[in-house]
Amino acid sequence: MINKNQKTKGGLFDVYSLWEIEPMKAKGCWVWDADNTKYLDLYGGHAVISIGHTHPHYIAKLKEQIDKIVFYSNSVQNSLQIELSEKLASLSGYPDYSLFLCNSGAEANENALKLASFHTSKKRILAFNDAFHGRTSGAVAVTDNPSIQSPFNTGHEVTFLPINDIASVKEALKTDDVAAIIIEPIQGVAGIFSAEAEFLQQLETLCNNHNVLLIADEVQSGYGRTGKFFAHHYANIRPDIISMAKGMGNGFPIGGILISPKIEAKKGMLGTTFGGNHLACAAAIAVLDVIEGENLLINAFEVGNYLKDKLSDCSGVKEVRGEGLMIGVELESKYADLRKKLLFEEHIFTGGAKNNVMRLLPPLSVSKTEIDIFIDAFKKQTQQ
Ligand code: PLP
């Protein structure tokens, strides 16, 4: 018997603010809603769509894999994982690093932090003001946003420091209990702020001298988004652990960490049920095929520069930041509703960040013609 006071309908736990739009199909840089209205996607589903929606090679590879096997556990051989690690090693410039696969960005960082602590036998982590590293236990503890940390998350030993201030890092390392420094080479959620190349280089040296691991969180900035495979390549550093996720599967959930050969693996040290499953690997391999075959790093670099140039001539813009197709546009305060206007009046998706920053994170395949459509709409809405 159903108790009348009991809820009989389902429903979702209400944690997201949703636009009144439901994408039903997508192709390249475009999505269509239920009324068949077409939208230009300069948000890439939050930097996730790397090679473009429903890319034919990606779809073919996924379908082929579905017909064979979609999942078996990590207790058996899986040659797709090896193929993925080899392709990734060669494209990312880390042939001597090994790969651990998981399912999301937070999970990648969680494993990175755990591994650093295992390796150094220390537990304090240095992170930076305004950083975002995810919402699970350790990942949210190193995220500089108390409003998304529960009391359960605040038990970790974490010190937040100002970014690009090497003196404060030196001071914090004096206690000798630091396992790792975690940094986004370009902060995403904060509003697209780059760590200076010199600062990253100094962090690398300090880490090496203090038995501290350097973790580069490339969850948002990696996989070609900035015009280089990883954003830290702009600073010519080699972090000890590199975490990645968003663009890796072009929408299929997969994450991972690349791990320096100086860190020794021990059986059972890390593990996951779903990480590295057959379908996820097929998606990730297809993504790398397309990134390489279609020269998407070069496209991201060139079209990104084109977009930044065009934006810097637009009115309403205070500052344009970022590299490649990871762009932050700080708007004058009177344009606080610009993203909404672009979405509902011009049918263009963009991302947001605090302090009136618009984040542009389109598929890496976006063309200059598509950027021109956006710039025309941007000018129209800011000149009204
Ligand atoms: N790290 C960075 C830099 C991110 O931008 C994000 C997500 O926005 C994460 C980690 C968390 O990734 P996920 O949402 O896949 O857990």
Cβ–ligand 1 distance for 104 under 6 Å, the answer: yes
Find the 87 Cα to ligand 1 centroid distance in Å: 23
Point out the ligand 1 atom lying closest to the alpha carbon of residue 104. 15
pLDDT on residue 284: 98
pLDDT on residue 342: 97
Segment 312-321 shows an average pLDDT of: 94
* Strands 193-194 vs 186-187: parallel, antiparallel or unpaired: antiparallel
Please determine, for residue 2, whether its predicted confidence score (pLDDT) is greater than 70.
no
Output the pLDDT for position 3. Answer: 61
Q: Of 7-16, 81-90, 166-175, which range is least confident?
A: 7-16
Tens digit of each residue's pLDDT (9 = 90 or more) over 138-155? 999 999 999 999 999 999
pLDDT of residue 383: 87
Q: Which atom of ligand 1 is nearest to the CA of 131?
A: 3
- Give the confidence band of 5 by pLDDT, cuts at 50, 70, 90: low
- Could you tell me which CATH number the domain at 23-55+295-382 has? 3.90.1150.10
Each residue's pLDDT tens digit, 323-340: 999 999 999 999 999 999
Q: What percent of the chain has pLDDT over 90?
A: 96
Q: What percentage of residues in the chain have a pLDDT greater than 70?
A: 98
Ligand 1 pocket member 105 (CB < 6 A): yes
Is the CB of residue 132 below 6 angstroms from any atom belonging to ligand 1? yes
| Pocket flag, ligand 1, residue 220 (CB < 6 Å) | yes
Domain ranges of the chain: 23-55+295-382, 56-293
User: For domain 56-293, which CATH number applies: 3.40.640.10, 3.40.50.300, 3.30.230.10, 2.30.40.10?
Assistant: 3.40.640.10
Among 50, 220, 241, residue to substitute to test ligand 1 (most atoms within 8 Å of Cβ): 220
**15, 49, 132, 326: residue to mutate for ligand 1 pocket, most atoms within 8 A of CB:** 132
Ligand 1 nearest atom to the CA of residue 188, by list position: 5
Residue 311 has pLDDT above 70, yes or no: yes
Cβ–ligand 1 contact at 304 (below 6 Å): no
The tally of CA atoms less than 13 A away on the side-chain side of residue 120 is 25
Q: One fold for both 23-55+295-382 and 56-293? A: no
- Mean pLDDT for the chain overall: 96
Model confidence pLDDT, tens digit, residues 34-88: 999 999 999 999 999 999 999 999 999 999 999 999 999 999 999 999 999 999 9
Nearest to 317 by CA among 227, 226, 383, 367: 383
Question: Quick check: 7 pLDDT over 70?
Answer: no
